Structure 1
Amino acid sequence: MKVSVIIPVYNVDQYLRHCLESVVFQSYSNKEIILINDGSTDCSQEICEEYVRRYPFIRLINKENGGLSEARNVGILHATGDYVMFLDSDDYWQTDFLSDLVEIIHQNNKVEYIFFPYQYYYQQRKIYVKAPLSIERSELIGKNGVECLNYILKHNGDFKWFAWSGIVKKSFLLKHELFFMKGRKYEDALWTPYLFLKATCIDYYDNPIYVYRNERIGQITLNHSYSTLEDSMFVATYWHKVLTTLSIEESLVEKLMNNFVERYYYSMKFACFLKRDERKKIISLLKKNRALLQYKFTLFHSFAAMCSKTFGFHRTIQMIHIILTLKGKSKYGFWGKDNGDAEGGQSKETNGAKSISKHHA
C-alpha cells in the first residue's frame, strides 16, 4: 500500500528541513512526498530541490501562489498513493508511526479514514502540550462517520477539524469529490467534516504524533480584518445551510452547529477592531444570520447571544470590546479559557480565534 504525503510549502525555509526529515525518517518504505511550492520567495524552493535530488520518492511541483486550499488540491490530483496525508511545512511528525497506520488498514481494508490526536509546540517557551481529546478507540473502531461524530462531539464539543490529523483513502476523496474550497480561510473546517459525514468506516490511532508549531517567526496572528471575520462567519452559515439538506438526526445537527457556531461568535467578538464601514457590514451579516444565536457552546456564546437579543448587535459588540480590554489587563482573563481563545492550538489554523492561517492566502 502506497502512502502519499502532501506538503504545501510557502516561505518556511527555517522549518522545512525539520518537517521533511520527520517524513524521510519513517521506516515505512512505500511512500511518496509531494511538495507543492506555492510561489515561495525565500529559500524554500532550493531546499525542496535539494531533497528531490537526495530522495527518489520526493516530487516537487512549483506553482504560482494560490493559497493553501489550491496547493492541497494540486497535491491530491498528483498523488499516486492509495492513501493521502497532509503535513504543514512548518510542523513535523514526532515518531515513526506510518507503518502502524498501514497495519490498521491491512487489518480492515474497508477503512476510509483514520484520524489521530496531536500536540502543540510553543517554540519560544520550548514546551509541548497534548491536545485535550477524550476519545476511546474501542468506541469508534469500524463505525461509520456519523456514528463517530455523535460520540466525538458528545465528549469533545470543541473538536478541531484539522485536515492534517489523519490519513484518508484517495479513491474515497475522488468518489465524493472532496477538495478544499478555494478563496476561503478556515478551509479545514469546510473540508474535514465531510470525511466523517461521507465515510462508512473510520478508525482512530491514539498516538499524538503530529507536532503543531506555535509562536514561529512570521506567524500571522491577531488578524482581525473584515475578510477574516467574514470568512469565519461563512463557516457557520455554510454548515447551517448544508446540514438542513442531510438526513441525519437533529441531535447530531445540534452538536455540529454548537461546534461550528464558534466561527459566528468569533466574528462578533472581534468586529470591534474593524473600521466603521466594515464593522457595519459584519453587523449586517450577523443580523442576517441571527438564527445562529440559538446555538452556543461556551459561556461567552451564551453571554453574546443574550446581549444580542436584548440590546442588539451594535451595543453587544461595544460591550465585548470593553470586556476584551479588561481581559487584556487581567492576569487570568475575564472568563478564563473559552473555545475561541485559549485552547492552545488554534493560533495558526482554520478553527482558531487568535489568527487566520500560517499559509499565504
Structure 2
Amino acid sequence: MKEQKVTIVVPVYNVEKYLKRCVDSLLGQSYQNIEILLVDDGSKDSSLSICKKYELQDSRIRVFHKENEGLGLTRNYGIERATGEYITFVDSDDYLTLDAIAVMLERAIATDVDVVIASHYYKNEEQRVTVSERIYSGNEIKETLMVHMMGNKGNKLDALSYTACWKLYKKELFIKNNLVFPSERKLIWEDLAFSVEAYPLCEKVYILHKPVYYYCFNEESLTHTYKPNKLELVMELYHYMGVKIQDLNLPGEAQYRLDTNFIGHIRTCIKLEVFYTDKNGFGTAIQNIRKICSRKDVQRLIRSYPKTSFNKSQYVYNFAMEHMLVYMVYFLTWLQNKKKRIE
C-alpha cells in the first residue's frame, strides 16, 4: 500500500521569535512522509529569511511569500498548493508533539474518516476532550460534535474546540467541496465560521483523546488584539452563526452554547477597553463600555440567557451590564484584569 503523504500548512507572519521552535517540531516528526508549506503572509521581520534557510536544509520544505491577507486566506493559499493526501494546519507560534502526524494519520487510515480531531496542550496542561473517543457519523456529527463546538454548556467546561489546528483532514474534503476558510477580516474567528461549513460535509469524524499540539499564548499579540470595532465584528459573527444554526437545523442546545460563548467574547471586548485605558483614556473606555452595554443585541442576549447558568460573580457582572451600571462594569472588569491576564 502506498504510504500516504501529509501536508503541513504553516501560515507565517512576524514570528521570528517562535518560528524555529515550530519548524523544528515539524522536521522532527516520527512520520517522515510529509511536506511542510511555510506561507509567509507579508512578514515585516526576519521570518521569511528564516523560512528560506530551512528550505535549503530540507527538501520537504517549500516556502511561499505573498501579500498580507490574514490567516484564513493564507491557509487557503497553502491548501491550493498541497500535494499530500491529508492536510493539517499549524500556527507558526505553536508546535507539535513529535508523534503528532503519526498518531493522527494512523487513526485516519484505520477508520477512513474525513477528519481526526485530537486534543492539545495549553500552558503545558492537557486540554481534555469531553466527548467520547470513537467514530462519529451521520447525524452524530451535527447533534454531538457541532453542538459542542458552539461553546460550553453554561458553566460546564465541555466545549469541543473548533480551531483548525490539532486536526487532520482528508485533502479531498477541500477539493471535492471547494471548501475554503473565510477571511477573519470579514468573520473575526474564521475557524468557527469554517466549522459550520466543513463538518456538515463529513461522513465520518474520529475523536482522538491524545494531545498532539502545543498551543502557546503569545503575550506580544496583546498589542494587536485591541480594535475599536471589535464588538461589531464579534456580534456580526454571532448573528452569522445563529443563521447557520437555523439553516443546519442543529438542536436548540447549539444556540444555548453559542450564547454562552459570545457572552464571554463580549466581556473580553470590555476587558480590552479597560486594559487599554492608559493608552486610550478613562473617558474613552467608559464611553465605549456604555456603547457595548447599550447595544440592543447585547442586551437581548444577556436578558434572554438563563440566570441560573451564571455563578455569583457572573450574575453581578451581567446585572451591571443589563442595567447600564457602566462604572460598576468598569470596576469589576478592572479587578478581573488585575487577577488574570487577558487571554
TM-score relative to the length of structure 2: 0.80
Q: Does 1:181 align with 2:182?
A: yes
Mark the runs of 5 or more structure 1 residues left unpaired by the alignment: 122-127, 334-341, 348-353, 356-361
AA of the residue aligned to 1:145: I
1:1-361 alignment, distance < 5 Å: 1-109=4-112, 111-121=113-123, 128-138=124-134, 140-142=135-137, 144-149=140-145, 150=147, 156-182=157-183, 183-184=185-186, 185-216=188-219, 218-220=220-222, 223-267=225-269, 270=272, 275=284, 282-283=292-293, 286-288=295-297, 290-293=299-302, 294-295=304-305, 298-299=310-311, 302-309=315-322, 311=323, 315-328=324-337, 333=339, 354=342
Give me the whole-angstrom Cα distance separating, in 2, the residues matched to 1:21 and 1:298: 44
Structure-2 change in CA distance of 1:307 and 1:328 (3 Å): closer
Q: Following TM superposition, by how much is the alpha carbon of 1:234 offset from its aligned partner in structure 2, in angstroms?
A: 2.6
AA of the residue aligned to 2:236: F
Structure-2 change in CA distance of 1:194 and 1:282 (3 Å): same
Deviations 1:236-294 (A, max 9, x none): 2221222222222223333344334432443355556573765565456x314543232
Give me the whole-angstrom Cα distance separating, in 1, the residues matched to 2:27 and 2:234: 35
Structure with bigger helix share is 2
Q: Following TM superposition, by how much is the alpha carbon of 1:225 offset from its aligned partner in structure 2, in angstroms?
A: 2.7
Task: State whether residues 265 and 304 of structure 1, in contact with CA within 8 Å, keep that contact through their aligned partners in structure 2.
Answer: no
AA of the residue aligned to 1:169: K
Mark the runs of 5 or more structure 2 residues left unpaired by the alignment: none
Measured on the aligned residues, the alpha-carbon RMSD in Å equals 2.9
AA of the residue aligned to 1:251: E
SS at match of 1:208: strand
Task: State whether residues 236 and 263 of structure 1, in contact with CA within 8 Å, keep that contact through their aligned partners in structure 2.
Answer: no
SS at match of 1:205: strand
Give me the whole-angstrom Cα distance separating, in 2, the residues matched to 1:134 and 1:151: 9
Q: Following TM superposition, by how much is the alpha carbon of 1:212 offset from its aligned partner in structure 2, in angstroms?
A: 1.4
Q: Following TM superposition, by how much is the alpha carbon of 1:37 offset from its aligned partner in structure 2, in angstroms?
A: 0.6
Deviations 1:51-85 (A, max 9, x none): 11222221111011222122112112222222211
Aligned residues: 320
SS at match of 2:222: coil
Deviations 1:106-157 (A, max 9, x none): 2222x11111111123xxxxxx22224423304x555642143246766744
Deviations 1:151-180 (A, max 9, x none): 676674444422212112222234444322
SS at match of 1:226: coil
Structure-2 change in CA distance of 1:223 and 1:10 (3 Å): closer
Task: State whether residues 52 and 59 of structure 1, in contact with CA within 8 Å, keep that contact through their aligned partners in structure 2.
Answer: yes
Q: Following TM superposition, by how much is the alpha carbon of 1:15 offset from its aligned partner in structure 2, in angstroms?
A: 1.7
Structure-2 change in CA distance of 1:10 and 1:269 (3 Å): closer
Give me the whole-angstrom Cα distance separating, in 2, the residues matched to 1:107 and 1:6: 23
Structure-2 change in CA distance of 1:165 and 1:171 (3 Å): same
